[in-house]
Each structure stands twice: as structure tokens, then as C-alpha cells.
Structure 1
């Protein structure tokens, strides 16, 4: 029965889900109309909200472009290819490949989502090349599926924010230590349950051999993504471009800074730190500036979807927040809540809003000031409600192409290729998380 449901989900998505760019456009018009109908805004007001938010994610867009480019470039070095190949060699059968990439994705995304997205996608490509008859769509979907645990992990923006002094809602919640959020028994149980169940679920979704779609291209082990050796002539310019000394010196600056950063702040990862690590390790391991730049030129071709689509999501966020539509959705869930169900309904409402506001920080700015005062009135733990918002933000990323774009770009697939499998993961993980908020 589970296999039949999976096949039905895959067929439905293949038939009805448009390209990721069109998905963003459809959401734009849906929010535009909802703001007029639900909140009584005029069309011109909605246009202004959209235009006012359109460029609000430029900094984040650049971060996502850089993490994709630098991760791709680092993976194209010989040492990283050998490491990924060694890890991939642990899987001998299609089932083992699916389980391995799911486990690696879950663990890596729990440590840091930017690192996890890139590493799991690259491992999926390696496994597709090394393991015969493994379905490439499910392999990539499994690589992306581990992303669901990120907001319950070490880089979760909501628990880290409320653990910081002088955060925006400190007057309501005070400073909440991570021992009550990401390291609470409830959160650790949810993470452990997902990490245990998701590999099994993905293994059960394997299609019949006649329906399997295998990787058509060359894998990372065979691709010469790293630049070929450049011809070195006697000109000073060519000698500098092919100088190993220059690569060593410039990478040393970045690596020394990172060592100082970790010594000073502990193992505190964020996007900027991950990007810097990828960048300077890539420079060092490629050996020469010429090889590094050639690899970067190849990697930049994968960023088109991010550059084009992220501004549209920024416009959607602008309309959702400025029109009051996000607040209206939250208020409706509040109206049907009791002290027992409030964390659960907060989780569900956050999951719904995340489809339109696929940003942890943006969603917290919208829902936090609404949900936490209600939690005070109902006598519900602020930490639990904060984690409900965090998990809702992470949960529906499984069916939101916004976050899948880096993985899809590295894999060379489209959103409809993996979203049927991701829909099944959404149902299973949603049940696990919901039970967590009811039982604790």
C-alpha cells in the first residue's frame, strides 16, 4: 500500500507541479488575491507591498549563490572527490545507497543546513555513479529530505535567537537557553525519531526496477570538474595564474581567521563561516588560482534558479507581512486552540505560512510576536511554542522548491522530479513532529 501511495504521489506531482519558477509566480498571484479578499487591501496596496519586498533578500540570495558555488568548487577538488567516493563505496545496493544518503543528509543538516544541502547533493551524485540501478530521483529526494531536521539542529535560527541577550522578544520570553529548545528532551526525541524512521521510509519508496530512472551522465568521480592543467608560458601573468604559492598564501589568510574564529566563539557555524570555509579550502586544494577560477566558472552555471526566483519569494514575503495576511492565518489557528493543542496548531500554522514565507528569520519575525503573548495567556511554555514555529518552518520545506534549488542545481533535476517522494516524507515527518508536541 505504501508503494502504491508513493507511485500515486509521484504521478500526481509529475502531472501537476509546474517548474519551480512558475510555482513562485503562482504563489505570488495567490497571495496577491488573498490579501485583497481576506484583508481588504486594494490592488495598488498589494503591488506596493510586493515591490517593497522584492529586493529584501538580496544579501541572503548572494549567500545562497556563494554557498552553492563554493561547495561545488570544493567538491571538484581531487581530495574531496576521493573522500566522497570513499563514503559512497559503503553502499553496494540501491537500498543501501538510499539509506546512506538519507542518514548523511540528516546528520549534516542537523549540524548546519548550508553544509548539509551541498554535501548530501554531491554524495547523491557519487552514489548514482557508483551504485547500479538506483533511482536517481529518489536518491536526490533523500539527499534533500534530511533538510527537515535543520531547525531542530545546531544552526536553528529560532532557538539561537531566543538564547541571545537583547533579542527582539526578550520582554516577553526572557532569554531561553538552548537546553530548553534544541537540547530539550522533546526536540531530541523528534530529531532521533526522524533520523531513525526517514531512512526506512525512503528505502520503502524505492520504485520497481521497470520504473527506475538511473543517472545518465558521468558521476563526480569521472567528471573533470576541476580545471585541466593550464599551459604555462613564460609571461609573468601566466606564472602568477599558475602559482601554487599565491594559492597557499591567500588561503592561509582565510584559514587562520577561521581558526581564530572557532577558538574565540566555539563551534558556532553560520552561513558566512561555512562559505568562507568552502572558499578558502577550495583555493588551497585546487592548487593554483587558474584551476580554482576555472572550477568556479563551471560552478556558477548552477545558480540561475536562485538568482531568478529568490526576489519573487521576497516579494511574496513582503505581501504576506505588510498586508497582515500572515497574522490573519496565525490568528485563525489561535482561535481554535486550547492550552494542550496550542503548540501543535502553532506548528501546523507555521508549516502553512512557510510555503509563502520560506525564511526562518522572516517567519519568526511574523509569528513570534503573535504566538508568544498568547502562550503567556494560556500558560504554555515559550520554549515549546518557539520550537513549534521552528519545526513548522522546517517541515514544509519538503514541498517548497525555494530550498530545494541548490540541491536540484547540483543534481541537474527539476522540482517535479523529487517532490512526489518529498510529499510522502512530509506526511511521515509531519506525523512524527505532531506526536512530539502532543506527547511532551
Structure 2
């Protein structure tokens, strides 16, 4: 009787494509910092003739934007640090380990991590990035024969869902009604309910189609046994909490370092605020409250200040890429939105080009594509809205396209090309201990598949 074994099956078309993409990315994709540097040079050179600005003006635009993401960079660094601190707590690790044991095969592990990450990112993108990467690490330690690169890539594909979820910058900005008339150049005068954006039939259909397709696609990309890249579980295990000193000759300061009451009182203070926050604001997550929850959960679960400080010190090692690269992307954004003597910016010129070739039926699709291109250079949901809303929203209104649909086209485009933009992968890569080129080959396949789904949804629904 024949026994079917994945190891000896002929590679499928998807496996061959993912292998080719992975090989190309490994050979040609530069380090994320070099990627940011090359984008900087490209924008500098392209923006000058398009916007009719001088090199000195572009230098001023670059330097003027360079420090504009300091708050955001600190928030993202804390996502990594507090997420690591929470995940390294013994209780949390045991919970993740129990969940990981439900995966019995490599394919099952890929499915689970994709779905968990997608749902978590839909709830809140910062929460999803950390939880997905941490859960992927745990699965890699528990499931024999699973490709570690694909696990982390699958966790990152959950980020496709964020801008159509509860923390989506564009739909929330529309719903808030804050400064809408100015931001949309007079195209939107009153708030647009999330019932017309996040919970519209169009958005729900796209989300469900993605939630079914992307996990199955990721599973189908799993390499054959002879090409799987695994990682030793020993390398994935987090350092155990330090043994507390039992000596009776401890100084008062050392006793405080090992006192559980310090952590318990801090946790009481922190969770009191968390309860009040949700009672007053409902389930409205943002980066600050997510980091607050991660931190005070870590404080409670680690038990003593000494254990907490060790976990935070370990997590801090993973923030180098964020601290170095985010200012450069802020500088790129500064050059992208800098307007020349005729009031034209490079981001605006890109958007105008797509508007000029659109009609009532194709406008949402071209808006989506233009947002995906702009996202390479302005990888911030809020920044994307500020750049494209004054151009796309009036153009959509003139063509008779509902404001909600135009806005969701921008939102989906912003999420779409994150699959090949290392900016947002940095926290997950830091937690995983990988480089962008390790996962981006798989993400390219997800980019094309998700682009087809979203594009068809915007065109037909």
C-alpha cells in the first residue's frame, strides 16, 4: 500500500513560486536599513523634477520631517519591549505553549498562526504584530518540521487585515469627524459611520474572503521536507527568571528588588486604570493602552522587580532597527509631502496620475493601487490619509463614488503593500530574530493573492 508523504511529493506551483521568490529576495533584497536608504535617495532624486524644488529645498524637507515620528518610534519600541516582557513571563509562556500544542502538523501550525495573527491585527495592529510573532516562536518550538521563516511570514500576513479592523486609522478618522472638511478638501462635511466603512457588506466580504484564502495560501507554500528551514527549540527558549537569593543577609534594597508586593501594588494601580479606561471608552484600543496592558501584565506575571527588569533588558536588545530606521522614514515622508512653487508634492502627483485615468467604476481600484504605491514611501496610516485624502476624496465625490468606499480603498491600499515594505515587519522580525529577506519571499505571494481579492472586491462589490 502506497504511503503519501509530503517529503517526496512533487512541489506544487505555489511551492515553486514561493521558492523562486524566496531565492530572489535572499539574493537581491537589501537589509531594511539599506532599503530605507535607497528609498531616501530615490525620493530625493524623483521629487526635484516633479515638484520643481531645488536640492537644498529637498534637504530641508528631509531634515524637517526626520524627527516627526519620535513619539511613534518610542511607542513601537515599547511594543517590542513590553510584548517581550509579557511573553517571557512563565505563566504566559505556559498558556502559549498549551495553545501551540493544538497544532499537530506543520500545515496546521501555519493555518493557526495566520488566523490568530489576522484576528489579533483586526482587533489592534500593535497587539497583533507582537502576539503573532510570539505565537509563531512558540509553534516553532513545539511543531517538528515546520519552516520557521514561513511561520513568521504567516504571522506577518495577519497585518493585511489591520486597516479594515477596529484600529484602522482611515475609517476611525472618518467616524470621528475631526477636521474632516479641511482634511478632505471639502469633500466630506460630516462624520461617516463605521457601519459604512468597517462593517459595510463590501468590507466584510473582502475580510471573509481574505480570512479563508490567506491561511490556505500560506499553508500551501510550506516547503518540502528537504527544503524546510527549522530552528533549534533551544534558541527559541527565553531565559528563565533568575533565582532569587535566599540569603538572610540581604540589604533592604535587595529585599525590595525581590519583593512581590512592589509588583502587586503597581499592578493594582495599572489595572485600576485599565478597567476605568474600558468602562469609559469601550473597546477602543490604541498603541498607548496596548503598551500599558502589556507592561502591567508583565509586571504582575513576573512577580518581582528583579525578574521584570531582566525581561525588559532582554527585550530592549530587539529595538535597534526601529530606533535607527524610523527617523529615515519620517524624512522620506517629509520629502514626499513637500510642495513645490506650484503646490505639487510627489505624493500628490502620484495620486493625481491615477485620478486622471479613472472613471466611476475603476476609481476605487485605482485608488487602492495608488495607496499601495504611496505606502512604500509613507508607511503610516495617518500619514497616508493626510497625503491622499485631499486628492482622492474630492475626486471620488466628483465621480459619484461614495466617500466610505474611497476611504476604504485608501485603507486597504495602505495595508496591502506592507507585505513587501520592511517598515512594519521590524517589530515581528526583532522578536523572531530574523531578517526581512528571510520572510519577504513568502510575503510576495501573499501580496499578489491579497491584491487580487481586494481589487476584485473594490471593483465588483
TM-score (norm 2): 0.93
CA distance in structure 2 between the partners assigned to 1:227 and 1:433 by the alignment: 49
Q: Secondary structure at the match of 2:176?
A: coil
Alignment partner, residue 223 of structure 1: 238
Partner in structure 2 of residue 112 of structure 1: 124
C-alpha distance after superposition, 1:88-113 (max 9, x if no partner): 00101111111111111111111111
SS of the residue 1:223 aligns to: coil
The answer to whether 1:295 aligns with 2:311 is: yes
Aligned residue in 1 for 2:264: 248
Aligned 1:365-384 pairs, distance under 5 A: 365-384=386-405
1:93 to 94, 102, 105: 105
1:114/1:271 contact within 8 Å kept: yes
Q: By how many angstroms is 1:37 displaced? A: 2.7
Task: Give the structure 1 partner of residue 4 of structure 2.
Answer: none
SS in 2 for 1:132: coil
Mapped pair 1:412 → 2:428: no
Tell whether 2:456 aligns with 1:435: yes
| 1:61–1:230 distance in 2 versus 1, CA, 3 Å | farther
Partner of 1:196: 212
CA distance in 1, matches of 2:24, 2:235: 29
Q: Does 1:280 pair with 2:301? A: no
Residues 26-70 of structure 1: per-residue CA shift (max 9 Å, x gap): 000000001113222211111110000000000000000001100
Match of 2:75 among 63, 84, 91: 63
1:230 Cα offset (Å): 4.7
State whether residues 101 and 139 of structure 1, in contact with CA within 8 Å, keep that contact through their aligned partners in structure 2. Answer: yes
Give 1:234 deviation, angstroms: 2.4
C-alpha distance in structure 1 between counterparts of 2:233 and 2:141, whole Å: 8
Q: Is the 8 A contact 2:384 2:414 kept in 1?
A: yes
C-alpha separation in 1, matches of 2:246 and 2:105: 42
1:395 is matched with which residue? 416
Match of residue 139 from structure 1: 151
CA distance in 1, matches of 2:181, 2:291: 29
1:155 aligned to 140, 163, 167, which one?
A: 167
Match of 1:308 among 321, 324, 349: 324
What is the root-mean-square deviation in Å for CA atoms of aligned residues?
Answer: 1.2
- Work out whether 1:84 is the aligned partner of 2:100: no
Question: Does the CA-based 8 Å contact 1:109-1:153 persist in structure 2?
Answer: yes
SS in 2 for 1:339: coil
- Shift of residue 172 of structure 1? 2.6
Establish whether residue 33 from structure 1 lines up as the match of residue 45 from structure 2: yes
Give the aligned partner of residue 179 of structure 2.
167
Which digits, 9 at most, give the CA deviation of each residue in 1:347-370, with x for residues without a partner?
A: 000000001100000010000011
Q: 1:109 to 1:230 in 2, by over 3 A?
A: farther
- Work out the CA distance in 2 between the residues paired with 1:165 and 1:147: 26
Match of 1:10 among 22, 32, 47: 22
Q: Is the 8 Å Cα contact of residues 98 and 199 (structure 1) preserved in structure 2?
A: yes
* Match status 1:209 vs 2:241: no
Alpha-carbon distance, 1:241 to partner = 1.0
Q: Does 1:349 align with 2:365?
A: no
Q: Is this contact kept in 2: 1:144–1:407, CA < 8 A?
A: yes
- Give the distance between the partners of 1:169 and 1:429, measured in 2 at CA: 32
Where do 5+ consecutive residues of structure 1 fail to align?
none
3-state SS in 2 of match to 1:183: coil
Q: What is the rounded CA distance, in whole Å, between the counterparts of 1:257 and 1:292 in structure 2? A: 20
After TM superposition, the structure 1 stretch with the greater mean CA deviation from structure 2, 71-80 or 166-175, is: 166-175
Distance 1:361 1:25, change over 3 A: same
1:331 to 343, 346, 352: 352
Tell me if the contact between 2:14 and 2:220 (Cα under 8 Å) persists in the aligned partners: yes
Structure 1 Cα separation of the partners of residues 178 and 224 of structure 2: 55
C-alpha change, 1:227 and 1:311, in structure 2 (3 Å) is farther
Distance 1:45 1:97 in 2: 51
Give distance in 2, aligned partners of 1:231 and 1:400: 50
Q: Could you list the per-position Cα deviations for residues 365-416 of structure 1 after superposition, in whole angstroms to 9, with x for gaps in the alignment?
A: 0000111111111111000000011110000011110000000000000000
Shift in Å at residue 227 of structure 1? 3.9
CA contact (8 A) 1:126 1:219 kept: no
Deviation at 1:231, TM superposition (A): 5.6
Over 3 Å counting, the alpha-carbon distance change for 1:231 and 1:422 in structure 2 is farther
Q: How many angstroms apart in 1 are the aligned matches of 2:432 and 2:24?
A: 22
Distance 2:46 2:350 in 1: 11
Contact 2:180 2:191 in 1 (8 A): no
- C-alpha distance in 2, partners of 1:62/1:122? 20
How far off its partner does 1:229 sit? Answer: 3.0
